[in-house]
Amino acid sequence: MEDIERFIKIVQQKRLLNQRELKRLDAPSDEHEELMKKLRDLKREREVCKENIVKHLGIITGHKHSIHKFVQSSKDISGLPVPHNYAQDMRIMFTDAIEFMNNIGDTYKAFTNVKENNMDILQLTHNVGTCVQTVGNELYQIKHNIAQLETLKENIAVLQQCIINTSDSIDDESLTLTISGESTDSGTTIK
């Protein structure tokens, strides 16, 4: 009888140990929760990135269609509406822009290659930011130069008007002096 009682106690103890172990295993671990949270965050971030890419591709496609429409409507025009000095630069810019938009898939592949090759995305982001800032600074300088050129153009127009007014008044004075009998030459006098 003692053996049976001892056997029952051992079985009960094992059952209690198994129940405790089951409770411990059922409770989610902190590491598991943290990994699940990271996974949810990454999924959300991926969806946001997809939405941004789709939105920006829509904008780029709209610009592509606008440029294409503009180019098609200007086929009967003999040249671009830019000065001759910049015509070649404009042709190159349009060609590069259209080529870029047509090869946007290759650009996306290059972006995925960056991720696959474990390139430093932070450095690339920094470089792009620096490039954008440099372009912004150059754009500001160009706008400043254009403003100076416009001011110069206005000043030239004012000076030309002053020269015309001055030459008109000098012509009027010399005509008046000649008619009244006075000479404009200081060495001779009319008697």
User: 131-155 pLDDT, tens per residue?
Assistant: 888 888 888 888 988 989 899 899 8
What is the C-alpha to C-alpha distance for residues 111 and 53, in angstroms, rounded to an integer? Answer: 12
| pLDDT value, residue 173 | 63
- Rounded to whole angstroms, how far apart are CA atoms 43 and 65? 33
The structure's pTM equals 0.30
Q: What is the pLDDT of residue 37?
A: 92
Average pLDDT over residues 4-11: 88
- Condensed to tens digits (0 to 9), the pLDDT of residues 69-101 reads 877 776 666 655 666 677 777 788 888 888 877
- Assess whether pLDDT exceeds 90 at residue 45: yes
**pLDDT, the chain, mean:** 78
What does the domain layout of the chain look like in residue ranges?
Answer: 44-62+89-119, 135-191
Q: What is the mean pLDDT of residues 15-42?
A: 85
Mean pLDDT along residues 8-28: 86
Confidence label for 41 from pLDDT (cuts 50, 70 and 90): very high
What the block records as the tokens of 62 is 């709209």
Closest by CA to 50, choosing from 101, 110, 117, 108, is 108
DSSP string, 85-121: HHHHHHHHHHHHHHHHHHTHHHHHHHHHHHHHTT--H
How would residue 171 be classed by pLDDT, with cut points 50, 70 and 90? low
Dihedral (Cα; 123, 124, 129, 130), 10-degree rounding: 70
